[in-house]
């Protein structure tokens, strides 16, 4: 077997020209590595170098540069790309540690870096021998072995093998999953010439890389977090593997801060707060992933949806309602069915003669809105047509992927579909962006980035004509550029029918969530043969926009619970004020306060229990009620209330009218600034 080292022999030209980010150029002999380039800039940079960007692609710092001209950027721990390299290497170090501790009969499968996962930074899936099991109690032992490997400063060497040689190498070390993965690569890439593997001492893994130059660069800022089960390839028909999660940073302070954020996230877990505050219920008797909204949660949802419905009416949207089921052929025509088939509830045949395809619990609303558009003839004067619906949809998510309200099987989409002329399209996209920004700003979610999801030209999953895709992608770019928005483009993230704008929102503890989405679609109007009569009196094809500024109320509210730690702003709070009499003697006065606030349209609660006032205040505070009106003898005599805020504490005394008007003003403004009491 012949190993082909990544460092090439000298070519006949014997020359490499390197252009650096500052515009300067360097000339090197053929076969120069990125590390040598770094050494030529400064020894300090070479010592800090962990990888290199060569012509826009991330490479190992020890990678040799081909003859010719190259743009080269040396990557250090300060660069955004560095964390992925670090964590990918941490996964390999962990895998070697597991093999050292549990023997060579352990098989390893996949071990990626995780960059956008709030809690974890990497994982590896293992098929352990029957006599071996790993639990969280074993993680310190694995960490200790990882520390030994770090101390050994083992070089990570990239090697390129032919597919046959790579399979032979994996067979020799008993790694059957890797052999299967190489076979898959051959099927996906006809004419595959080589497979890259990384050698780390006695540990060899099939991997694209890049990696740190040696294990010593991993340092000491890593921690193994948890152990979980994971099916091979995510298919519950396959074998259950053992997944070990970990996280790694370049600095121990960063690791400590990350662990603190995780502890804070546990306190904010919407599943725990949902039970404590009586917001929603997940009942296995009803079915996994099918949430039941309790009264308090229903109020939050009602307020949020009611506000958004009002905004939609102002913006010219027309409300519609559609059924929960429809003929499967609708989703075959739209093209959704082949992409979602394995994530849908089974089809139903309701009666003889209803069609051989049967019926489907709707996974999305698009085909129904299309049928509504098509139900009457449209002129260019009728466009744009904006149809909106809070439509319930159903997707059969795998049980292991379900998570509270953020990943469910039955959920609502704050859905709308806009049908417009090509000339109207960019103005409609801009309006959708404005609505999404308004939704986020109203909830105080002002820290977000914009991601444009484009098609992957090499993928076959996308439908429609290439020229339609080009137009749609350019339409989106024009809008975000016109609005001066900072954005990134991500090939492969488009919907199968068109490109999209996603708003990726960061919450108050730094976690990122994908919320609002706007998708441009030239293709479904063709598949459903939609038309409008243009000014020239001939039929033309409209363009569609799919948009959902919240995404789904379930997921959005789950995120809001954690963002606010259950302490919703006044306008969303299920109970906006609690009236707390000091004792039974003042109950009649408290009842009058309660009635006056209730009649003013505020959601108010009276605590008439015999408990002491301290217990009543603690209870209202634990329930995250924004305001408390404490009443006793002094307040009854002066016809006032002693006001407390759930976080600000005692705000002093004020008249009932001032308290009521202040609450109504804060509610109307949808603000979160506590009432002010005049001195």
**Which residues are catalytically annotated?**
366, 395, 413, 415, 417, 500, 546
Q: Is 460 helix (H, G, I), strand (E, B) or coil?
A: coil
Per-residue HEC secondary structure of 198-212 comes to EEECCEEEECCCCCC
CB 28 within 8 Å of CB 66: no
Handedness of CA 139, 145, 151, 153 (dihedral sign): negative
And the tokens for 509?
């503890």
Rounded CA separation 178/197 (Å): 11
Helix-strand-coil percent breakdown of the chain, rounded to 5?
A: 35, 25, 35
Range 298-320 burial, b when 16+ CB lie within 10 A, else e: ebbbebbeeebeeebeeeebeeb
Alpha carbon distance 511, 436 (integer Å): 19
Angstrom distance (rounded) from CA 592 to CA 581: 11
Q: Which of 228, 144, 273, 226 is nearest to 557 (CA)?
A: 273
Alpha-carbon span 153 to 636, nearest angstrom: 76
Tokens representing 20? 């650096």
| Separation of alpha carbons 309 and 315, rounded Å | 10
Instruction: Measure the CA–CA gap between 249 and 246, rounded to whole angstroms.
Output: 11
Chain position carrying tokens 């809001």: 560
Cα first-last separation, the chain: 87
Query: What are residue 190's phi and psi, to 5 degrees?
Result: -65, 135
Buried b (16+ CB within 10 A) or exposed e, 160-170: ebebebbbebb
- Token pair in block for residue 668: 């109307």
* Crossing angle between the packed helical segments 82-102 and 139-152, to the nearest 10 degrees: 110
Q: Measured between alpha carbons, how far is 517 from 523 in angstroms, rounded to an integer?
A: 18
In Å, how far are 115, 181, 185, 461 from 188, measured between CA atoms?
26, 11, 5, 14
Q: Which residues contact 647 (CB under 8 A, 6 or more apart)?
A: 567, 674
SS3 of 578-621: the string is: EEEECCHHHHHHHHHHHHHHHHCCCCEEECCCCCCHHHHHHHHH
Total residue count of the chain as it appears in this document? 679
C-alpha triplet 533, 535, 536: angle, nearest 5°: 90
| Coil/strand/helix, residue 503 | strand
Rounded Cα–Cα distance for residues 407 and 429 (Å): 28
Residues 55/79, Cβ–Cβ less than 8 Å = no
Helix axes 466-482, 425-442, angle to 10 degrees: 50
- Please list the residues that pair with 167 across neighbouring strands: none
d(CA 142, CA 174): 22
């Amino acid at each position: 077997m012949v190993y082909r080292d990544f460092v090439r022999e000298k070519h006949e030209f014997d020359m490499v020209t390197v252009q650096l980010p500052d515009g300067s150029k360097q000339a090197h002999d053929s076969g120069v590595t990125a590390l040598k380039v770094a050494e030529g800039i400064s020894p300090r940079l070479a010592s800090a170098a962990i990888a290199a960007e060569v012509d826009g692609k991330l490479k190992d710092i020890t990678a040799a540069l081909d003859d010719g001209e190259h743009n080269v950027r040396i990557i250090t721990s300060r660069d955004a790309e560095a964390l992925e390299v670090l964590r990918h290497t941490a996964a390999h170090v962990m895998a070697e540690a597991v093999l050292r501790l549990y023997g060579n009969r352990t098989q390893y499968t996949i071990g990626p870096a995780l960059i956008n996962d709030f809690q974890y930074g990497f994982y590896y899936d293992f098929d352990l021998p029957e006599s071996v099991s790993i639990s969280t109690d074993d993680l310190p032992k694995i960490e200790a072995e990882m520390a030994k490997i770090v101390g050994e400063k083992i070089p990570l060497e990239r090697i390129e093998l032919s597919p046959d040689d790579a399979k032979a190498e994996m067979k020799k070390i008993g790694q059957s999953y890797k052999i299967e993965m190489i076979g898959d690569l051959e099927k996906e890439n006809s004419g595959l010439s080589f497979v890259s593997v990384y050698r780390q001492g006695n540990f060899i893994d099939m991997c694209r890389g890049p990696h740190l130059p040696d294990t010593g660069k991993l340092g000491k800022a890593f921690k193994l977090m948890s152990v979980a089960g994971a099916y091979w390839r995510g298919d519950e028909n396959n074998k259950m593997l053992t997944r070990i999660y970990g996280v790694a940073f370049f600095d121990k302070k960063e690791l400590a801060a990350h662990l603190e954020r995780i502890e804070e996230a546990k306190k904010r877990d919407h599943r725990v707060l949902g039970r404590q505050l009586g917001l929603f219920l997940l009942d296995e008797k009803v079915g996994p992933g099918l949430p039941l909204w309790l009264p308090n949660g229903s109020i939050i949802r009602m307020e949020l949806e009611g506000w958004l419905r009002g905004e939609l009416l102002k913006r010219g949207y027309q409300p519609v309602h559609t059924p929960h089921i429809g003929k499967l052929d609708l989703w075959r025509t739209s093209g959704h069915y082949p992409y979602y088939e394995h994530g849908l509830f089974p089809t139903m045949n309701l009666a003889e003669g209803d069609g051989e395809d049967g019926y489907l619990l709707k996974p999305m609303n698009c085909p129904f809105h299309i049928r509504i558009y098509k139900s009457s003839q449209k002129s260019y004067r009728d466009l744009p047509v904006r149809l909106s619906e809070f439509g319930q949809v159903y997707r059969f998510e795998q049980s292991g992927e379900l998570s509270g309200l953020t990943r469910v099987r039955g959920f609502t989409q704050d859905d709308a579909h806009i049908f417009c002329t090509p000339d109207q399209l960019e103005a409609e996209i801009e309006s959708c962006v404005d609505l999404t920004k308004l939704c986020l700003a109203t909830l105080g979610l002002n820290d977000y980035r914009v991601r444009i999801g484009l098609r992957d030209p090499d993928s076959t999953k996308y439908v429609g004509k290439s020229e339609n895709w080009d137009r749609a992608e350019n339409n989106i770019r024009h809008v975000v550029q016109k609005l001066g928005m900072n954005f990134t483009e991500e090939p492969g993230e488009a919907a199968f029918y068109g490109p999209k704008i996603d708003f990726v929102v960061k919450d108050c503890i730094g976690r990122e969530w994908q919320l609002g989405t706007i998708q441009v679609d030239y293709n479904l109007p063709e598949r459903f043969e939609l038309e409008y009569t243009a000014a020239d009196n001939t039929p033309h094809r409209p363009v569609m926009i799919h948009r959902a500024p919240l995404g789904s109320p379930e997921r959005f509210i789950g995120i809001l619970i954690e963002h606010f730690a259950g302490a919703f702003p006044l306008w969303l709070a299920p109970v906006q004020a609690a009236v707390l009499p000091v004792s039974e003697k003042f109950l009649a006065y408290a009842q009058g306060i309660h009635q006056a606030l209730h009649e003013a349209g505020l959601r108010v609660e009276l605590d008439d229990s015999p408990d002491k006032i301290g217990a009543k205040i603690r209870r209202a505070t634990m329930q995250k009620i924004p305001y408390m009106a404490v009443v006793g003898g002094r307040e009854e005599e002066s016809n006032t209330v002693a006001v407390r805020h759930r976080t600000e504490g005692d705000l002093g005394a004020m008249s009932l009218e001032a308290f009521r008007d202040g609450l109504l003003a804060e509610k109307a403004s949808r603000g979160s600034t506590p009432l002010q009491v005049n001195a």
